[in-house]
Amino acid sequence: MERRDFLTKTLAGATGVALGFPTIVPSSVFGKNAPSNKINIGQIGCGRIARDHDLPGTWQHEIARIMAVSDVDSNRMADGKKLIEGYYTKKTGSSTYVDVQMYGDYRDMLLNKDIDAVIISTPDHWHSQPAIEAALAGKDVYLQKPTSLTIAEGRTLSNIIQQKGTILQVGTQQRSSPQFRLAAELVRNGRIGKLHTVRVGLPGDPSGPDAPTMPVPKNLNFDAWLGSTPEIPYTEIAVHPQKGYGRPGWLRMEQFGAGMITGWGQHHFDSAAWGMDTELTGPIRVEAVAEFPRAGLWNVHGDFMVKAEYANGITMYTSGGYPNGIRYEGTDGWIFVSRGNYVASSSDPVSQENSKKALDASDPRILKSEIGEKEIHLYKSDEQHGNWLECIQSRKQPISPVEIGHRACSVCLISHIAMKLPRALEWDPVAERFKNDTEANAMLSRPQRKPYGTEHIKMK
């Protein structure tokens, strides 16, 4: 019997009967735009940011139904299943609303035709590859930032997403916070005169202790967790806690990312670009100084300063010496914007900034200025995950699409390269290469350990 016939007869026979499960069918049956349809979602990565941010951000919307989880740590995967089923049981009053499927390999999840979309909440070195593979499998994607580990894989990601028509939302949720949109609109509409300088406050990370080699926990597929990065001995503070969901150690290891310059940098560079009108380009010159640990396992940058110059005459400075947030400076005043008391996770690293004003200006009247009907109005979203879900239905571009995400991430990555080299670097944002600098260009990609990595994906 054909699946459609089976469903039709089953539902017809159930008329007037109180069922113990929801009438939910995959979008493959009626099409993604069917008004009665729920969006079936798989969660890839069940750690801290998934539990604290991405799952609650998604399941609050009625259109979403989270039906599967995947993680290379079987304990975390089981916890994810329990968390999701517990939420739906409490919400619906039915313990049989959903039986969350578990996949030790996300690629098996992508073969499930009932799944319409995936949320990728994995460590930074596992962002681009599953996003590309999800797009190739016909799934829409919510992707945690940073979008890529290197410029090269970020460009591959953006190209594939655009070619496939995938709705990909980058998790730069500051775009859905009203103060960041208002600040950018006020700047773009000339309320502080001609913008000339932007100062971004972004902390560094502390150095860490030496750590002994440890046996790999039986619940962890460590080889898969390492992915495309080099094989190294296991130690817990290089990965994630085996008990609890505190801030993981991989965030402070260059093997898996670049530290806060990418960890929070993509948030702030993305928001800054909104006000600078540079969302689809990048700086033309960048130079930096930074302190790096001389010993210990954790080796990402500490205190730093980056100077980036743009073709439109704006200079952006980024440092931990500034208040966490973005300060736009123009010929007629300034505007400062930050998250205020918002936190994405219980272990956000700058909780001391909660008391800072979310929005401030050199003159309070600037903030009360209304944006006229014929002035620039930027994309409005009330919530990042909700906007993604709406765009899955409408097939319109989300507020944080892949190319804008790639460009913001690129600023992070070339800033990190500048931290490593004792000279100013000339950047070509069209070719996405440094001018006349072989050493710097060699850092635009990394060797990828087979069989993992974007270079080894079988393109369909």
- Cα dihedral 378, 383, 385, 388, rounded to 10, equals -30
Q: What are phi and psi of 92, to 5 degrees?
A: -100, -20
Q: What are phi and psi of 409, to 5 degrees?
A: -65, -35
Whole-number pLDDT of residue 102: 98
Q: Number of helices (H) and strands (E), helices first, in the chain?
A: 16, 15
Whole-number pLDDT of residue 208: 83
pTM for this one? Answer: 0.89
User: Beta strands of 262-394 (E only): which ranges?
Assistant: 285-290, 304-309, 315-319, 325-330, 333-337, 359-361
Q: What are phi and psi of 135, to 5 degrees?
A: -60, -40
Q: All domains of the chain, ordered by start, with CATH?
A: 24-173 (3.40.50.720), 177-207+250-374+403-456 (3.30.360.10)
Render the burial of 108-123: b for 16+ CB within 10 Å, e for the rest.
ebbebeebbbbbbbbb
Using an 8 Å Cβ cutoff, are 235 and 208 in contact?
A: no
The two three-digit tokens of residue 67, written as one number: 């039906």
Alpha-carbon torsion 59, 64, 67, 68, what sign? Answer: negative
Within 8 A by CB and 6+ apart from 372, the residues are: 189
Convert the pLDDT of each residue in 96-114 to its tens digit.
999 999 999 999 999 999 9
The two three-digit tokens of residue 257, written as one number: 């990312």
Q: What angle do CA 455, 457, 460 make, to 5 degrees?
A: 130
In the three-class reduction of DSSP (H, G, I as helix; E, B as strand; rest coil), residue 232 is classed as coil
Cα 73 to chain centroid distance, Å, stands at: 21
Alpha carbon distance 191, 330 (integer Å): 9
- Kindly give the confidence (pLDDT) of every residue in the chain, 460 residues in length, as a single tens digit, with 9 standing for 90 and above: 333 343 333 333 333 333 333 334 444 443 444 444 899 999 999 999 999 999 999 999 999 999 999 999 999 999 999 999 999 999 999 999 999 999 999 999 999 999 999 999 999 999 999 999 999 999 999 999 999 999 999 999 999 999 999 999 999 999 999 999 999 999 999 999 999 999 999 999 998 889 999 999 999 999 999 999 999 999 999 999 999 999 999 999 999 999 999 999 999 999 999 999 999 999 999 999 999 999 999 999 999 999 999 999 999 999 999 999 999 999 999 999 998 864 554 444 554 444 468 999 999 999 999 999 999 999 999 999 999 999 999 999 999 999 999 999 999 999 999 999 999 999 999 999 999 999 999 999 999 999 999 999 988 6
